[in-house]
């Protein structure tokens, strides 16, 4: 099934924004858990910041700390949610996947949420999925709810 949208709360989006601004001029990164609902929408449950283990080498690259990934996988087994996306920031670049992002898209089912952070201030946040053939990204709808979107799951 092809994901067409990802649904966040205002708090989730605010958290991603703050992570990007705090890490600037390096890239921030983290993982996102949720569930897929009918209608091809991912509903976000949790957004967690991760240490960018490449930040000391290059400010224009990211790699999620494996310890964060392992911890979230354990939590997902207990909660029934799953890792559905990751986020990272693009310092002084737009919120669109770069050529490097395409080359490093190792998990084709994850959604890529990117925050464009210019001069230390987040200007935009967009979501993308990898095309089936893996040769490009496609932007998907990013929906922000005033209430927690995972309240719909109860």
- Token representation of residue 53: 């283990």
Q: Mean pLDDT over all residues of the chain?
A: 92
Q: How far is CA 81 from the centre of its chain?
A: 15
> pLDDT (tens digit, 9 = 90+) per residue, 52-80?
999 888 878 899 999 999 999 999 999 99
Q: Please state the domain extents for the chain.
A: 5-145
The residue ranges of DSSP E strands in the chain, in sequence order, are 5-9, 29-37, 41-50, 82-91, 111-118, 121-130, 137-145
Per CATH, the number for 5-145 is 3.40.140.10
Q: How many CA atoms lie within 13 A of 105 on its CB side?
A: 25
Interatomic CA distance for residues 149 and 154, integer angstroms: 10
Tell me the per-residue pLDDT of 25-48, one tens digit each, with 9 for 90 and over: 999 999 999 998 877 899 999 999
């Amino acid at each position: 099934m092809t994901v067409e949208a990802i649904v966040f709360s205002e708090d989730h989006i605010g958290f991603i924004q703050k992570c990007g601004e705090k890490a600037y001029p390096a890239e921030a990164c983290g993982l996102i858990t949720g569930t897929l609902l009918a209608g091809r929408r991912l509903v976000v449950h949790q957004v967690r910041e991760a240490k960018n283990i490449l930040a000391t080498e290059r400010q224009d690259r990211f790699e999620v700390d494996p310890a964060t990934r392992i911890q979230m996988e354990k939590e997902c087994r207990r909660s029934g949610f799953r890792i559905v996306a990751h986020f990272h920031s693009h310092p002084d670049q737009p919120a669109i996947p770069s050529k490097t992002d395409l080359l490093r898209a190792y998990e084709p089912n994850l959604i890529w949420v990117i925050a464009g952070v210019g001069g230390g201030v987040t200007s935009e946040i967009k979501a993308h999925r990898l095309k089936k053939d893996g040769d490009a990204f496609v932007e998907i709808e990013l929906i922000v709810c005033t209430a927690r979107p995972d309240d719909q799951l109860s």
